[in-house]
Chain A
Amino acid sequence: MLFCHITTQIQGEKHGDLLEQKGGNAFPFLAFMDADGNVIAVHNEDRTAVEFAKTGEKAKSFVEAKVKAEKGDPSAKIDFIILQLSFGQIKADAAQKQIKEAGVPTKEQQAKVEAELLNASIMETVKGVDSQEGMKAVAKKFYEMHKAGKPAPTSSQAVQAYFILALGAADELKDVETFAALLKILKEKFGALEGAQLFFKAKEKRLEELKAEKK
């Protein structure tokens, strides 16, 4: 169901600070909530019908999985932990511990667990950075992971963080081939976004500069 909250800044209005309560800090803020008002998922993907539907399906699965998990179904418990992990509701180490306690995941569940653990790990790494030097170190780490052929993250936020930081490291190291490869990946994923055009224009220009420097 659809709920629209309008922050009016009118003094005394009921639920005037609801945006802040729900963890939002900018407009528009799009989120799926359960019937208790808990935020299940924040929609950070593109604002298209297709992406809304995907997040909506995830939210619906979350509610259904929660009900099943609460009834004690071990497989449903694991599904629910995977969903909590994908929504950033629990950290990677807590999820791993809870999955061990819940039972043995199926092959499909295990693949999902590994993908979501990677996404969570990347986001936790980035969020833990509190300095310019720290960010450079993380960028280098992601660059090395990519060079080593390690699996890439799959969630939109983790993909952006991972590849953009790795791109920065490739630039710093003047690794033209890797810079070009990372830029290509980013363009494939986000090239159609209007808001990203200035970024890509700047990076294309930088690629040409790096190529010229190499000659």
Chain B
Amino acid sequence: MNLVKHAALAAIWVAALGSAALAQTLEEKRDEKLKAAFLKKADWFLDYDKALEAAKKSGKPIFSFFTRSYSP
């Protein structure tokens, strides 16, 4: 097998492994974000529907912090 075919196969393997790793990594990154220190310092709702429900009961506005886990 020549070098070009080797390189092509290697690229396909890397792409396949990378793609599997990416999906797994998104879940892991989310779980890591959920362990963030700031979330332990106060009572944060992480469920949007439950936050709305609680806001209706209390009559208080919701302070919303939108962040991400898929990227730093």
Q: Which residues of A contact B (CB under 8 A)?
A: 1-10, 14-15, 18-19, 22, 24, 27-37, 40, 52, 56, 59-60, 62-63
Contact = CB atoms under 8 A, between A and B. Distances in A.
B69 A7 contact: yes
Contacts of A32: 61-64
Interface string B30-61: 10011000010011111010011011101111
B2 interface: no
Given A10-B30, A24-B66, A5 B48 contact: yes
A35 B67 contact: no
Q: Which 4 A-B pairs have the closest CB atoms?
A: A35-B55, A29-B66, A3-B51, A9-B70
Contacts of B55: 1, 33-35
Nearest to B26: A10
Given A10-B26, A36-B52, A3 B63 contact: yes
Prevailing SS type, chain B contact patch: mixed
13 contacts: A1-B51, A1-B58, A4-B44, A6-B34, A6-B69, A7-B70, A9-B68, A9-B70, A30-B64, A33-B64, A37-B48, A37-B52, A56-B63
A2 B44 contact: yes
B25 to A, nearest CB: 10
A35 B45 CA distance: 13
Interface residues of B, number: 31
B50 to A, nearest CB: 9
B21 to A, nearest CB: 14
A8 B42 CA distance: 22
A3 B65 contact: yes
A9 B28 CA distance: 12
A3 B68 contact: no
A138 to B, nearest CB: 31
A39 to B, nearest CB: 8
Given A18-B48, A35-B59, A37-B52, A7 B68 contact: yes
Given A5-B67, A8-B33, 4 more contacts: A1-B55, A5-B64, A35-B56, A37-B52
B27 A22 contact: no
Contacts of B52: 35-37
Contacts of B26: 8-10
Contacts of A9: 26, 68, 70
A22 B52 CA distance: 14
A207 to B, nearest CB: 37
Contacts of B67: 4-7, 27-28
